[in-house]
Amino acid sequence: MLRAKDQILVIFGASGDLTKRKLMPALFELFRSGALPEKFAILGVSRTAFSDSTFRDFQREKLLEFAKNPTEAELGAFLTMLYYASFDTKNTDEYGTLKEKIFSLQTQLGLGDRIVFDIASPPELFETVVDGLSKFGMNKSVGEDSFRRIIVEKPFGSDLKSAVKLNTILSKNFEEQQIYRIDHYLGKETVQNILVLRFSNGIFEPLWNRNYIEFVEISVYETLGVENRASYYEKSGALRDMIQNHLMNLLAFTTLETPSNFSPEAIRDEISKVMRSLRPLNAEDVKQNVIRAQYAENPEKYV
């Protein structure tokens, strides 16, 4: 298997829900399959007062809960890659602490100057994180064989105005090829199989059009409720959390035209065409066609 070059992955929001449920289990699976670089460090960042050791203990507990059948040997080897930096991520003056920790890891582990920043923090921190990285020059790579990349998870802003503002801030501090806007739903096997089902299937492909399909219904059933994310969900709600990203991407995968090839660029072009073709809902459309409700405890465990 072709491995990436040695690098550091910096995760903002390292003690949060996204990291423990999605990011760490995914990184653990990559480690088990031998897909991570030979020299690789995961640097967790948040305000929680962890040391390297207590952060590893915390993530070990979460991996036992969320990873698939981890063994003690696998956990032990993986957790040695984890490090931690604690500072007030809301204060850009404190980002020098992060720069010092990164330099220390590069020196200690013999790592090159290749760094990926993953913002798994609440959306209201995105701007501060980007400004803090830029303030201390961590948005710029040094040398030919180095890079800086930034991953932005959903939700990308809270509305159109804030999304445009966030895009402007990112573009001011990073080049477009450095920016990765991520919707983790697209990594789910079922979602990826939609394109295979459609375009590699001689039965469905010629019938997948309005002449043979009466309507499309997209339903998302989840066993996971709000859990301990109430503070986030009270601000976001299901519309912003699920529909404008996850479900819109499912809609695009279901309705896009056959791409010229299956490169990321070609698929993105077809997704863009779908989005541009959608008719925006006006106030009357919303009144007539949209039903919204308040979430509550559900004994059946379906949302």
Active-site residues, by number, are 246
Query: Which ranges constitute the DSSP H helices of 67-188?
Result: 72-79, 96-109, 126-135, 160-173
Instruction: Measure CA 32 to chain center.
Output: 21
Q: Distance of CA 284 to CAs 109, 175, 238, 287, 294, Å?
A: 60, 40, 21, 5, 21
The tokens describing 296, both together, are 């509550």
The helix/strand/coil state of 262 is: coil
Mind giving me the DSSP string for 77-93? HHHTTEEEEE--TT-GG
Q: Distance of CA 163 to CAs 124, 178, 179, 231, Å?
A: 11, 18, 14, 21
Give yes or no for a contact between 8 and 102, defined as CB atoms under 8 angstroms apart. yes
User: Which residues are registered as beta bridge partners of 265?
Assistant: none
Beta strands in the chain (DSSP E): 7-12, 40-46, 82-86, 114-119, 147-153, 179-182
Query: What's the CA angle centered on 210, arms 240 and 200, to 5 degrees?
Result: 85
Task: Give the sheet arrangement for strand 147-153, strand by strand.
Answer: 82-86, 40-46, 7-12, 114-119, 147-153, 179-182
C-alpha closest to that of 125 among 161, 166, 94: 166
